[in-house]
A and B are shown apart, each in its own frame.
Chain A
Amino acid sequence: MASIGSNSSVQEADVAASRADIVVGLVSYNDVGTIGAVARALRDGSTRYFPSSAVKFVLADAGSTDGTREAAREVVGPSALVEVKYESGPALGALAYHGYPARAEALRAILEAAQRLGAKACAVVDGGIQALGPQWIEQLVAPVLTDGIDYVSPYYLRPVNEGALTRSIVYPMFRALYGVRLRQPAASEFGCSGRLVTQYLAADFWDLEQVSVGIDLWLAVAAASGEFRICEAALGPRVAAARGTAADLGTTIAQVVGALFTDMEHRVDFWQRVRGSAAIPVFGTASPIVPDAPSMNTDALMESFALGYRELREIWTWVLPPRAIVELRKLTESGPDRFRFDDRLWASIVYDFALGYNLRVMPHDHLLRSLTPLYTGWLASFVLEMRGATLEQIEQRVEQVCRGFESEKRHLISGWRWPERLR
């Protein structure tokens, strides 16, 4: 595996001269349009909610050329801003789904700065967020300082067209594997305690090949699988500016689901012992108004699924049992009114792909990308079912999906322990 190492260097004079109770990490890359507003909201929030705490802003910029750093300096001021430099490396390979080059190195540099500053709490925020309120800093940091929470995960209000991959695979599988009902485990923002910062920096995932795409998820997993207290912070809707050309769906699935499957291989002993899942506290109350979702072309999604079934069925048989293939065939023959992906079927399909990933039945990239049409099928089914649904109804539906994953977990454990039975 390729090692990325760490080459962060905090401005030593600044660090030595002061210490901080709270560190606010800003991750940016050509975000001149948003970084000023983000920094201002965070600065105002820290002044309003933590007037007696020493707050430092740590900027990890991936080499912006549009004046992002200057804009951040102007708002925060030189006394409160620490800029960290790190090895961002050449932009080779596929673009990361989050559109941020060397994100893992940036996060590591922020965490190292937080440790050196002796921070009790650290919050990380993406510099590309639009419409960020001052209360965000309170929501991400206050649970750590006042309630002894170690990891604060954001909970965003998302309409049906947002976070489908999280709702269909990442959250249900994360919950079934690690027993924690963390609804958005791959979010870019988070808050954490100084204790967890130390744990993060000692973790072994920084040298893994997929760290730049999997880091957000892996930080959540590290918190969930350790002896740490976790909560969610209701932050309302999340609107982020597009950062460069977005990765295509196949690449996004390969990166996000690949990161999840890779992590599974490293924590086998832990997740095989976990049974069921536990709810976690939610801090704050966000506006119940969910932004309207634009209409989606479900016919095209279903067609994409049908094309996948027609052409990739042969590849799917490498990992899926005949029963699943028969169910998928029935689905291709259904009209929009009856097109519904059964939750347990979906869970068993994802688990079978995880087993195939572990057994290396074919190159990982092929296996993960071949999941794309199945995901579009699930998405079509979900959108058809959730037309006009409220946020609560969407949450209830996702809850059912999660139960499907929890009840099928025994199939995953048995396949993992006795892979020969699958053949």
Chain B
Amino acid sequence: MWAQVDRILRQATSQTVDQIANFLPGVLVSLTLVLTTFVVAIFARVLVMRALRGLEVDRRAEQWGLAAAMAWPTPTSLSQTIARVVYWTILILGLLVSLTALNATIPSRLALSVFEYLPNLLAALMILFVGTIVARFLARSVLIGAVNMQIQSARLLSLAAKWLVQLVAVAMALDHLSIGRSILLLAFSILFGGIVLAAALAVGLGGREVVGRVLERQFRETPRGDDSVKHV
């Protein structure tokens, strides 16, 4: 019996050692890949940064009004943002490739599915990016326009415009990623339907007079005072 136990133990040990021996090169390759990716990512970041600075991308972006359209003032410039995106893209891709080197089924499948999903993810990110730019631009346009029209709730209108566009962008991005399509549609229908219904009820039934007074105050009771002025 002891001999049998000894044989099984030896067999188990041998199998474990074999498996470890088979797995180790993969780990080694994986670690090497991670390290290499890290180094490549840093180099790429520095190279991209230098190239963009050489091309005076930040100055050109300012000239084209791109930097202004992108965001409110931020400490990071456009070239820094692009360099960061390049750095993290290389790093994430490297990590995924290193997972496949482990020769394990689940990490490999994960990596493959992520690669397959990547175009959708990039498209969704692009939608979010453009949506954010449009939302901020629109918010500022509405704010300035409303203030110049003497509308007291200018900030509220601006925020409403901003979040409306931002929400639509998020919904489109999620739809592109196939996340909760039916829930999203339902949520939007309920939300916008609810807003319209509430507004209709407020104006038509409950607060007709109140809304009338508010609108009157917004548009009539605050004349600019320059009606009789010829400005130029």
Task: Give chain A residues whose Cβ lies under 8 Å from the Cβ of B231.
Answer: 97, 163-166, 249, 252-253, 256
> What is the distance, in angstroms, from B21's C-beta to the closest C-beta of chain A?
60
* B65 in contact (CB, < 8 A): yes
| A372 pairs with B148, CB closer than 8 A | yes
Residue of A nearest to B228 (CB): A294
Q: Are A252 and B232 in contact (CB under 8 A)?
A: yes
B223: which of A165, A295, A297 is its contact (CB, 8 Å)?
A297
Does A307 lie within 8 Å of B69, measured CB to CB?
no
**For the side of the interface on A, what is the size category?**
35 or more
Residue in B closest to A364 when the chains form the complex, CB atoms: B65
Q: Would you call B84 an interface residue if the criterion is a C-beta within 8 Å of the partner chain's C-beta atoms?
A: no
| Residue A330 is within 8 A (CB to CB) of chain B in the complex | no
Check B179 for interface membership: any CB of A closer than 8 A. no
Chain A nearest CB: distance from B65 CB in Å? 5
A296 adjacent to B68 (CB under 8 Å):
no
Question: Which A residues from 329 to 378 make CB contacts under 8 A with B?
Answer: 359-364, 366, 369-370, 372-373, 376
> Of residues B140, B154, B227, which shows the largest number of chain A Cβ atoms within 10 Å of its Cβ?
B140
Instruction: Please tell me if the beta carbons of A315 and B140 are within 8 angstroms of each other in the complex.
Output: yes
Output the least CB separation between B130 and chain A (Å).
16
| Residues 192-232 of chain B, each 1 if its beta carbon lies under 8 Å from chain A, else 0 | 00000000000000000000000000000011111111111
Let me know if A165 and B232 touch, CB within 8 A: yes
Chain A residues, Cβ within 8 Å of B145: 250, 369
A147 at the interface (CB under 8 A from B): no
Give Cα A98–Cα B230 distance, bound, in whole angstroms. 11
Residues of chain B lying within 8 A (CB to CB) of residue A256: 231-232
Shortest B27–chain A CB gap in Å is: 49
B73 touches A161 (CB 8 A): no
B103 interface hit (Cβ, 8 Å): no
Q: Which residues on the B side are within 8 Å of A294 (C-beta)?
A: 228
Known: A360-B68, A362-B65. A308 touches B147 (CB 8 A): yes
Chain B residues within an 8 Å CB radius of A300: 222-225
Q: Which of B65, B73, B143, B226 contacts A360 (CB 8 A)?
A: B65
Instruction: Give the distance to chain B from A250, nearest Cβ to Cβ, in Å.
Output: 4
- Would you call B38 an interface residue if the criterion is a C-beta within 8 Å of the partner chain's C-beta atoms? no
Q: Is B176 an interface residue (CB 8 A)?
A: no
Chain B residues with CB under 8 A of A380: 225
Residue of A186, A311, A363 contacting most chain B CB atoms (<10 Å): A311
Interface residues on B, range: 20 to 34
Q: Give A259-310 interface residues, CB cut-off 8 Å to B.
A: 293-301, 303-304, 307-308
Q: Is A248 an interface residue (CB 8 A)?
A: yes
Query: Is B56 located at the chain interface by the 8 A CB criterion?
Result: no
Q: How far is the CB of A409 from chain B (nearest CB, A)?
A: 23
Determine the distance from Cα of A165 to Cα of B67 in the docked complex, in whole angstroms: 30
- Cα of A253 to Cα of B147 in the assembled complex, Å: 15
Q: Is the interface of A mostly helix, strand, loop or mixed?
A: helix
Chain A residues with Cβ below 8 Å from B148 are: 248-250, 369, 372-373
Asked if B154 and A296 sit within 8 Å, CB to CB, the answer is no
A253 to B145, CA, bound (A): 13
Q: Beyond A297-B223, A303-B222, A307-B152, is A366–B229 a contact (Cβ under 8 Å)? A: no
Q: Does A312 lie at the interface of the complex (its beta carbon under 8 Å from any beta carbon of B)?
A: yes
Rounded to whole angstroms, the CA-CA distance of A294 and B224 in the bound complex is 15
Given A250-B148, A369-B145; A376-B224 close (CB under 8 Å)? yes
B140→A162 contact, CB < 8 A: no
Pick the contact of B155: A249, A301, A311 (CB < 8 A): A311
B189 within 8 A of A: no
Q: Specify which chain A residues have a CB less than 8 angstroms from the CB of B143 in the assembled complex.
A: 311-312, 315
- List residues 55-82 of chain B with CB under 8 A from any CB of chain A: 62-65, 67-69, 73
Nearest Cβ in chain A — how far from B53, in angstroms?
15
Instruction: Answer whether residue A228 sits at the interface, using C-beta atoms and an 8 A cutoff.
Output: no
Q: In the complex, which of the residues B64, B73, B147, B152 has the most CB atoms of chain A within 10 Å of its own CB atom?
A: B147
- Ordered by A's residue number, 27 sampled pairs between the chains whose C-beta atoms are within 8 Å are A161-B228, A161-B230, A248-B148, A252-B232, A296-B225, A303-B225, A304-B222, A304-B225, A307-B150, A307-B152, A311-B146, A311-B155, A312-B143, A312-B147, A315-B143, A315-B144, A360-B63, A360-B64, A360-B67, A361-B68, A362-B65, A362-B68, A362-B140, A366-B144, A369-B144, A370-B144, A373-B147
Chain B residues in the interface with A (C-beta under 8 A): 62-65, 67-69, 73, 137, 140-141, 143-148, 150, 152, 154-155, 222-232
New contact pairs (18) apart from A158-B230, A363-B137, CB-CB < 8 Å: A161-B229, A162-B230, A163-B232, A164-B231, A186-B232, A249-B148, A249-B226, A250-B144, A296-B226, A296-B229, A297-B225, A300-B224, A359-B62, A360-B63, A369-B145, A373-B147, A373-B148, A379-B226
A interface residues (Cβ-Cβ under 8 A, vs B): 97-98, 158, 161-166, 170, 186, 248-250, 252-253, 256, 293-301, 303-304, 307-308, 311-312, 315, 318, 359-364, 366, 369-370, 372-373, 376, 379-380
**Shortest 5 CB-CB contacts between residues of A and residues of B:** A300-B225, A297-B225, A165-B231, A362-B68, A301-B225
